[in-house]
Amino acid sequence: MTIIEQPKEYKVIGTRPIRHDGLDKVIGKAQYGADLKLPGMIWGALTRSPYAHARIKRIDTSKAEQAPGVMAVITGADMPVAEAIEIETGEEVTNLAHASDKLMARDKVVYKGHPVAAVAAADQNAAIEAARLIEVEYEVLQPVLTVDEAMASGAPLVHEDYAGKDLGEETRNTNVADHFRHETGDTAAGFAQAAVVVEREFELTMVHQGYIEPHNATALWKSDGKIEIWTSTQGAFGVRSSVAPILRVPETDIRVTPLEIGGGFGGKIPIYLEPVCAVLSKKAGRPVKVVMDRKSVFEATGPTPGGRIRVKMGANDKGDITAAEVDLYYEAGAYPGSPVGAGAMCALACYRVANARVDGYDILVNKPKTAAYRAPGATQAAYAVESVVDEICQALGMDPLDFRLHNATREGDRRADGPVYPRIGNLEQLQALKDSEHYRTPLEREGADGRLRGRGVANGFWFNGGMQSCVTINVNSDGEVGLVEGSVDIGGTRASIAMQAAEVLGLRAEEVHPVVVDTDSVGYTDMTGGSRTTNATGYAAYLAAQNVIAGMKERAAILWESNADDVEFEDGVFSSKHDSELKVTFKELAAKLTETGGPLAASGSIRQRGSGGGFGSHLVDVEIDPETGKVDVIRYTAAQDVGKAIHPSYVEGQIQGGATQGIGWALNEEYFWSDQGVMENSTFLDYRMPTALDLPMIDAIIVEVPNPTHPFGVRGVGETPIVAPVGAVANAIHDAVGVRLTQAPMKPQRVLAAIKEKNGNGA
């Protein structure tokens, strides 16, 4: 672990206590959505479209209604009509009419797996069997399956009635939902100064977050009109604010309880099942639970887009980037809203580029509506940009990390889309990778049995959000505290938030008892996502703890018949500024709450700014079988500026997890489409995520350049590490076998074909 700046000595922060939720999760006692059982609960199942694009002519539910055990059947006609307005839901903006239509089709199905009806029955099998009895007559339409098809003139329209935007102007009869541009300087002039100009086009296919836990929801629409929802989500408040307008009920009438979550990575920010369960429950008068199967998760939740990316970049012979142009064509899926906006902001974020133009296109296709996936939109762009940077380094004969350091953005630089960087750690983390043992050790170029090795690097950026959080701390009479939060625990956030409170309160991490509660039991808290939780909810916990200390000082003052201003707190002990005899520990004082005024609880709430950004560069060695095209990752090191690592193990875990997902994306993960828009590999057998045997140990180098807007310097961690891997792996493959793969995934068949083409014997 490399510590760049270490301003303070901490007692709890920076240590590695066992996480509060660890034991339950390890022994299988944690309560996930699928575990939930309620009195009178019944099961729902959905009928889904077999076509990617079709008009619904007729739905006949009569057979399903008569099937054994069936208590409710609904179609799009039973769903309230939502208003076409946009709301903020964490990392995305959601148009409610689209969100509602996505849950349950009305006139038209626009992706394979689009729900058309739902059934609730006494048990899960009865519900599934009944859902099969729903008869739907479709008029099958030509599906739009790629960004090129979607933009071709005369292409079928995914939605005939949607308006698009082209550089701010409204457009009609188009699948391009949005086209925008960021521009700075004069790229023509910049390219004129260049000694080297590289222009390449890249293609990617849709990939899924691949969380292990399928989506699930249970809803009870009560007789008093209130709705209770239990679900696996990254943000209970986001569920509440999406469900309320879709069902046209006031937010206050909905209570959402988040259960443990088995992975989300952005894909569990949007809602899929909750309103459907609620409408079924209203009809059946019982709690209704739906758990998706894996196929539905792949076909009908929110993957991250494929698409096409063009990058042109120039550099002079001193190694300065003189100009760059990036065109990003991203699949939105069946409704507007791909992460191309973020992709465009991230594309050149690692580099000082005086002359830049970035165009983004958000393109409708008959595929599932994309959702956030860990640094949404950034990995695709980085794959393209980092590949081109690699080529420029080779053309200039420059070390790839020297080039990146030379051009690295730093405090005061302006990003191509406008913002000026505050203090960031881009240089420091690049330098840490350059200084790593891995980088300093030359690669042995030949592996066993004729396998060839190569090394690649890439850099990556993600914003790291702030947003809103609220925490309440309750002081117990034994001197320990309960910490009430609205942040669903992903990746150890109970621990990382509790530790920040513990640091302030002078307690051990284990003496703070975090609990994640429903939307009625804590103040508004945004979703766990955007790499914001340890930063913003941690900050709220810090503030709540400060308020606890202030309250405790008043109690000490009551005991000592003095003034709270006269009380100091250090190392868990309250003492009088005037009388050195007067001391009371936090624990002793907690036991005296009753006599000093009653219970003590305090809250902290924050609307936190972003962190200025997290940068992370990755270094990978690969070994390739030139006869089969198989790529093995044999060594991997990732450096990242995390601001401050509250719990270093979980920071390392995030960096390793991000790298792992990126490696999967680089090598094998893909939606494999039929020409009718059916995903053919909707199982974990044929959707190939890496297994433990596919990965080396991933070394994480933690760099700490504190975020000045957070009391402990936290910057956020989770998303940045997925940005660099695809580009790094592409660069390593090029280094090993001399072929530049401009299509992801870089699966064996593609690698082998490229090797054969290079050797002039393309089969």
Partner 1 sequence: MHPFQYLAPTSVAEAVDALARYGDRARALAGGTDILVQTRTGRFDLDAVVDVKRVPELTALTLGEDGLSIGAAVPCYRVYEDAEVAGLYPGLIDAASLIGGIQIQSRASLGGNLCNASPSADGICPLIVHYGQAHSAGPDGRRSTPVEEFCVAPGRTILEPGEFLVSIELPRPPAGFGGAYQRFIPRNEMDIAVVGVGSSLTLNAAGDRVESARVALAAVGPTPILAHAAGDSLVGKTPGIDAFREAGELAADAARPISDMRGDVNFRKELVRVLTRRTLTTALERAQS
Residues that bind partner 1 (CB under 8 A): 125, 128-129, 627-630, 632, 667-668, 672, 680-681, 685-686, 688, 690-691, 693-694, 747-749, 752-753, 763
> Which one, 50 or 185, has the nearer CB to partner 1?
50
> Which one, 135 or 399, has the nearer CB to partner 1?
135
Task: Report which of 728, 494, 615 is spatially closest to residue 21, judged by C-alpha positions.
Answer: 494
542 Rama sector, left if φ>0, alpha if ψ -120 to 50, beta otherwise: alpha
Compute CA 41 distance to the chain's CA centroid, rounded to the nearest angstrom.
32
Residue 5 Cβ, how far from partner 1 at the closest point, in Å? 40
> Which one, 251 or 680, has the nearer CB to partner 1?
680
Residue 642 Cβ, how far from partner 1 at the closest point, in Å? 30
Residue 217 Cβ, how far from partner 1 at the closest point, in Å? 21
CA atoms of 229 and 387, how far apart (whole Å): 46
Question: b/e map of 503-527 (b: 16 or more CB within 10 Å)?
Answer: bbbbbbbebbbbebebbeebbebbb
User: Beta 601-608 vs 307-315: how paired, if at all?
Assistant: unpaired
Residue 123 Cβ, how far from partner 1 at the closest point, in Å? 11
> Which one, 38 or 753, has the nearer CB to partner 1?
753
> Tokens representing 536?
């913003």
Residue 84 Cβ, how far from partner 1 at the closest point, in Å? 38
Task: Report which of 429, 368, 400, 329 is spatially closest to residue 641, judged by C-alpha positions.
Answer: 429
> Which one, 86 or 625, has the nearer CB to partner 1?
625
Residue 665 Cβ, how far from partner 1 at the closest point, in Å? 13
Residue type, 475: V
Helix/strand/coil percent split, the chain, to 5: 30, 25, 45
Residue 142 Cβ, how far from partner 1 at the closest point, in Å? 22
Residue type, 499: M
Cα 606–Cα 608–Cα 610 angle in degrees, nearest 5: 170
> Tokens representing 657?
């997890």
CA atoms of 253 and 228, how far apart (whole Å): 8
Residue 128 Cβ, how far from partner 1 at the closest point, in Å? 7
Residue pair 470/522 in contact (Cβ under 8 Å)? The answer is yes
> Which one, 470 or 755, has the nearer CB to partner 1?
755
Question: b/e map of 688-712 (b: 16 or more CB within 10 Å)?
Answer: bbbeeebbeebbbbbbbbbbebbbb
> Tokens representing 684?
């974990």
> Which one, 41 or 753, has the nearer CB to partner 1?
753
> Which one, 142 or 683, has the nearer CB to partner 1?
683
> Which one, 129 or 260, has the nearer CB to partner 1?
129
**Backbone phi, psi, residue 256, to 5°:** -110, 125
Residue 168 Cβ, how far from partner 1 at the closest point, in Å? 41
> Tokens representing 649?
């193990």
**Backbone phi, psi, residue 751, to 5°:** -65, -45
> Which one, 396 or 753, has the nearer CB to partner 1?
753
> Which one, 290 or 340, has the nearer CB to partner 1?
290
User: Does the bond joining 68 to the residue before it have cis omega, within 30 degrees of 0?
Assistant: no
Residue pair 11/503 in contact (Cβ under 8 Å)? The answer is yes
Q: What is the CA radius of gyration of the chain?
A: 27
CA atoms of 391 and 380, how far apart (whole Å): 17
User: CB-based contacts of 685: which residues, under 8 Å, 6+ apart?
Assistant: none
Residue 484 Cβ, how far from partner 1 at the closest point, in Å? 40
Residue 672 Cβ, how far from partner 1 at the closest point, in Å? 4
Residue 219 Cβ, how far from partner 1 at the closest point, in Å? 25
> Which one, 124 or 603, has the nearer CB to partner 1?
124
